């Protein structure tokens, strides 16, 4: 179309630089084995940690809510889009997280981009880990607060930033609970200790820890026994919870303030009843089926040990996120291509999402994978790793 040629030019540039992303299309539900781009593969790249996207109790709850309340809410939360279901979900989340109150946003992204600007403004300082998620970066960009980015997990640099910002009105330390590209866990006990020493607030994004770490999947704060010492916990309902949305668990005062000042919350329509009811049912599942989390960790240990034993570089991962680091971008893309040929779906992740020399295939195993799924996936990695010279050939015994 006339005057839109610039978009085609930019796409051509992306393709030439090898960083162009195309969508992979699933021909069915999100499951460990599925049809992707017309081919049956083992999925090793979803955030469906507990397999809840197809859980029968959650489907039933969604269908019942659909029949009772309809398909949409017809309004933003702050006008007439708050239904009893939304309030029930928030009460359940607050109790689950051992906090005073909770508030649900449309997504985890909407949480970070909407909450951070309410917590810090001109005269305040935000101290943020270099590897924090894009939505945190965008949330920080929306504030007029000063920002200090510390090298990943560097506690000396964090302390220095806290020491140097003592005159600020408010200070906010922001960290992912589990880092999404590397799978390492934030050093929360040290972060909280330092924040307490210098009188700063701590904000933890538990997108990849909700449903994964802590008792019944309560998250990284609970995992470290820090309940009551982290001012703001954000989580998603879109990963281990299997549905869609984000929430903040904090004080009643912050909830009230966010209802009045959280722009995505105020200006965007609320979740459909089926989504909200499925999330409530997910909390029931977390509370009554702890074996799902045990299975997730059992599968994680099984896969991680074997992939490391093969000789792959898996970085500092401690959680179900296992990066398989290939080096330069083209190597990671090639690894992903060979894996797909061998029946495993795990896209390459390249610069600028990760460092240029640390391009990788990021794998996430789930509770829903069988040992056979994992064994087949491991065989594909062995083959791809040998073909690309990332690991030595297996010596026959
Ligand atoms: N925070 C982190 C650390 C994430 O990995 C993600 C998801 N990519 C989000 C926030 C955004 O969550 P959602 O998908 O619910 O918007």
pLDDT at 19: 76
pLDDT at 394: 67
Does residue 279 have a cis peptide bond before it, meaning omega lies within 30 degrees of 0? Answer: no
Query: Which of 111, 112, 180 has the most ligand 1 atoms within 8 A of CB, as the residue to mutate?
Result: 180
pLDDT at 369: 98
pLDDT at 315: 93
Active site residue 102: no
- The ranges of the chain annotated as CATH 3.40.640.10 are 55-288
Phi-psi region at 167: left, alpha or beta (left = phi > 0; alpha = psi -120 to 50): alpha
Q: Return the number of other C-beta atoms located less than 10 Å from residue 5's C-beta.
A: 9
Query: Does ligand 1 lie within 6 Å of residue 362's CB atom?
Result: no
Q: Whose CA is nearest to atom 10 of ligand 1?
A: 108
- Please indicate, yes or no, whether the overall pTM of this predicted structure exceeds 0.85: yes
User: What is the CA(312)–ligand 1 centre distance, in A?
Assistant: 27
Give the span between the Cα atoms of 220 and 176, in whole angstroms. Answer: 9
Catalytic residue among 46, 113, 135, 180: 180
Give the span between the Cα atoms of 48 and 368, in whole angstroms. Answer: 9
User: Of all atoms in ligand 1, which is nearest to the CA of residue 133?
Assistant: 3
User: What is the CA(224)–ligand 1 centre distance, in A?
Assistant: 21
Query: Does ligand 1 lie within 6 Å of residue 46's CB atom?
Result: no
Active site residue 165: no
- The ranges of the chain annotated as CATH 3.90.1150.10 are 16-45+290-388
Q: How far apart are the first and last CA of the chain?
A: 63
Q: Whose CA is nearest to atom 15 of ligand 1?
A: 108
pLDDT digits (tens, 9 = 90+) for 254-301: 999 999 999 999 999 999 999 999 999 999 999 999 999 999 999 999
Residue with token string 């998250």: 219
Q: What would the two tokens of residue 199 be?
A: 């009188």
CATH of the domain spanning 55-288, picked from 3.40.640.10, 1.10.760.10, 1.10.390.10, 1.10.10.10: 3.40.640.10
Q: What would the two tokens of residue 8 be?
A: 């085609």
Give the span between the Cα atoms of 365 and 45, in whole angstroms. Answer: 7
User: Of all atoms in ligand 1, which is nearest to the CA of residue 110?
Assistant: 16
User: What is the CA(65)–ligand 1 centre distance, in A?
Assistant: 26
Q: Any idea what the Cα angle at residue 246 is, between residues 241 and 250, rounded to 5°?
A: 110
Backbone angles phi, psi at 132, to 5 degrees: -65, 155
What string of H, E and C letters represents the secondary structure of the chain? CCCCHHHHHHHHHHHHCCCCCCCCCECCCCCCEEEECCEEEEECCCCCCCCHHHCHHHHHHHHHHHHHHCCCCCCECCCCCCCHHHHHHHHHHHHHCCCCEEEEECCHHHHHHHHHHHHCCCCCEEEEECCCCHHHHHHHHCCCCEEEEECCCCHHHHHHHHHHCCCCCCEEEEEECECCCCCCECCHHHHHHHHHHHCCEEEEECCCCCCCCCHHHCCHHHHCCCCCCCCEEEEECCCCCCCCCEEEEECHHHHHHHHHHCHHHHHCECCCHHHHHHHHHHHHHHHHCCHHHHHHHHHHHHHHHHHHHCCCECCCCCCCEEEEEEECHHHHHHHHHHHHHCCEECCEECCCCCCHHHEEEEEECCCCCCHHHHHHHHHHHHHHHHHHCCCCCCCCC
Active site residue 86: no
User: What is the CA(365)–ligand 1 centre distance, in A?
Assistant: 17
**Residues of the chain under the 70 pLDDT cut:** 394-397
pLDDT at 352: 84
User: Of all atoms in ligand 1, which is nearest to the CA of residue 177?
Assistant: 3
Query: Does ligand 1 lie within 6 Å of residue 48's CB atom?
Result: no
Q: How far is CA 89 from CA 16, 41, 223, 276, in A?
A: 47, 35, 22, 7
User: What is the CA(74)–ligand 1 centre distance, in A?
Assistant: 25
Query: Does ligand 1 lie within 6 Å of residue 107's CB atom?
Result: yes
Q: Whose CA is nearest to atom 13 of ligand 1?
A: 108
User: Of all atoms in ligand 1, which is nearest to the CA of residue 135?
Assistant: 10
Q: Whose CA is nearest to atom 5 of ligand 1?
A: 180
pLDDT digits (tens, 9 = 90+) for 299-316: 999 999 999 999 999 999
Give the span between the Cα atoms of 268 and 130, in whole angstroms. Answer: 29
Give the span between the Cα atoms of 331 and 389, in whole angstroms. Answer: 10
User: What is the CA(91)–ligand 1 centre distance, in A?
Assistant: 22
CATH classification of 16-45+290-388 is 3.90.1150.10, yes or no? yes
């Amino acid at each position: 179309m006339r005057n839109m040629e610039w978009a085609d030019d930019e796409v051509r540039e992306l393709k030439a630089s090898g960083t162009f992303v195309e969508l992979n299309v699933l021909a069915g539900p999100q499951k460990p084995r599925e049809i992707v781009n017309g081919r049956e593969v083992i999925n090793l790249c979803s955030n469906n940690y507990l397999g809840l996207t197809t859980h029968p109790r959650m489907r039933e709850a969604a269908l019942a809510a659909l029949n009772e309340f309809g398909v949409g809410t017809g309004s933003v939360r702050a006008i007439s889009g708050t239904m009893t279901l939304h309030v029930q979900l928030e009460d359940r989340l607050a109790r689950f997280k051992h906090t005073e109150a909770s508030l649900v946003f449309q997504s985890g992204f909407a949480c970070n981009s909407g909450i951070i600007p309410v917590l810090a403004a001109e005269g305040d300082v935000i101290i943020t880990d270099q590897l924090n998620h894009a939505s945190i970066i965008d949330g920080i960009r929306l504030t007029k607060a000063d920002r200090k980015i510390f090298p990943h997990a560097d506690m000396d640099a964090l302390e220095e930033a806290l020491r140097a910002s003592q005159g600020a009105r408010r200070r906010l330390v922001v960290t992912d609970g589990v880092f999404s590209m590397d799978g390492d866990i934030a050093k929360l006990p040290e972060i909280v200790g330092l924040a307490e020493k210098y009188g700063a607030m701590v904000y933890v994004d538990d997108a990849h820890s909700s449903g994964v770490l802590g008792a019944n999947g309560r998250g990284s704060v609970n995992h470290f026994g820090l309940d009551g010492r982290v001012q703001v916990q954000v989580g998603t309902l879109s990963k281990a919870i299997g549905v869609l949305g984000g929430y903040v668990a904090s004080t009643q005062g912050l909830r009230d303030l966010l209802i009045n000042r959280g722009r995505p919350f105020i200006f965007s329509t609320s979740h459909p009843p089926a989504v909200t009811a499925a999330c409530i049912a997910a909390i029931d599942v977390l509370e009554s089926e702890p074996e799902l989390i045990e299975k997730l960790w059992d599968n994680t240990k099984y896969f991680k040990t074997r992939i490391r034993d093969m000789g792959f570089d898996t970085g500092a991962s401690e959680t179900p996120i296992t990066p398989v680091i290939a080096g330069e971008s083209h190597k990671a893309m090639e690894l992903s291509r060979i894996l797909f040929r061998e029946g495993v779906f795990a896209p390459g992740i390249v610069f600028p999402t990760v460092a240029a020399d640390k391009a990788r295939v990021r794998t996430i195993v789930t509770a829903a994978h069988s040992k056979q799924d994992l064994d087949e996936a491991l065989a594909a990695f062995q083959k791809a790793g040998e073909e690309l010279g990332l690991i030595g050939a297996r010596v026959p015994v």
